[in-house]
Amino acid sequence: MPYIGTATIKYGPFETKSKAREILLKTKAVKNAKASAIVGRAGNYSFSVKVMFKVNTANDRSIAAKQIKSNAPSARVTFRKI
């Protein structure tokens, strides 16, 4: 049974907006990645990225979740059936 997965990853805080913009441009190169605007709070800048992907089986779903969490431990990963 196929699933649609969504990973939401928060980046920051960055000291300058230019550093945040540099990382933002790298994340936009990822296929199906949608980034929020850079937000400045208390002298720090941050943004979030949401990536959607498709997996076909429950085993693939668990592999994808483990792989995402190993690279981005603070990522929020959700799945829903198609």
Rg (CA), the chain: 14
CB of 73 closer than 8 Å to CB of 7 = no
Domain 3-81 has CATH 3.30.2010: no
pLDDT tens for 16-70 read: 999 999 999 999 888 889 999 999 999 899 999 999 999 999 999 999 999 999 9
Cβ neighbourhood burial of 82 (10 Å; 0-12, 13-18, 19+): exposed
Task: List the structure tokens of 22.
Answer: 């540099």
Calpha distance 17→41 (Å, rounded) = 11
pLDDT given at position 28: 85
